[in-house]
A and B are shown apart, each in its own frame.
Chain A
């Protein structure tokens, strides 16, 4: 089955700085790469995703980059704000297999 790791496990940044979270996976056939945000006590919410035929996707302050050769993809958040504080999960997916979520990265944005 898919092995998924996230680095770092915790990240603290000053408001306005950038944050980068990396997700590595083992299944070379994975073709869908989403990031979910989960605030304390809330449900996970899809914030951005990318398919295997695209190397980068951007949506306002967030972006995802994919390196299929190295089997990792990253979440980039620019101009961080206190409301970005949450746990972020990656969940690389290969159609026909089951979803495997990473262990999560806790991001704290300090005012």
Chain B
């Protein structure tokens, strides 16, 4: 079974620029999550999708972050404009049910 795929793996941008991350979940997994993990901390949930509907986005900074999951499969997370404090690893996870989560390799974002 193929795992969760994410791209790019690394990204360096300047503050105020925009960036987008892509995630392809495990086939058949209805639930998809985006997390932000700052160095030395636990993952923080940004948004949760069930199929192509948003279940929870209470911790998503909506003035600069947006996410979508078209056709209930792939998802993109966008930051515009980026700030220095957005430097982190962005993790995508999927699950067949909102319990066991399988994480992708993550995208390491550096904002300079």
Question: Which residues from chain A sit less than 8 Å from chain B, CB to CB?
Answer: 32, 34, 42-46, 49, 89, 91, 93, 95, 97-104
Contacts and interface: CB of A to CB of B under 8 A. Distances in A.
A23 to B, nearest CB: 11
B91 A44 contact: yes
28 contacts: A32-B99, A34-B100, A34-B101, A43-B104, A43-B105, A44-B43, A44-B91, A44-B103, A45-B103, A46-B100, A46-B101, A49-B99, A89-B42, A89-B43, A91-B42, A93-B98, A95-B98, A97-B56, A98-B45, A98-B48, A98-B58, A98-B59, A99-B48, A101-B43, A101-B44, A103-B41, A103-B42, A104-B42
Given A98-B56, A98-B59, A93 B99 contact: yes
A99 B100 contact: no
Contacts of B33: 99
B102 interface: yes
Contacts of B100: 34, 46, 49
Nearest to A1: B58
Contacts of B56: 97-98
A102 B101 contact: no
Contacts of A46: 100-102
Interface string B70-112: 0000000000000000000001000000111111111000000
Contacts, number: 45
Contacts of B102: 46
B25 to A, nearest CB: 14
A75 B99 CA distance: 18
A103 B39 CA distance: 11
B24 to A, nearest CB: 15
A5 B75 CA distance: 31
B50 to A, nearest CB: 11
Question: Nearest 3 A-B pairs (CB), nearest first?
Answer: A101-B42, A43-B103, A98-B56
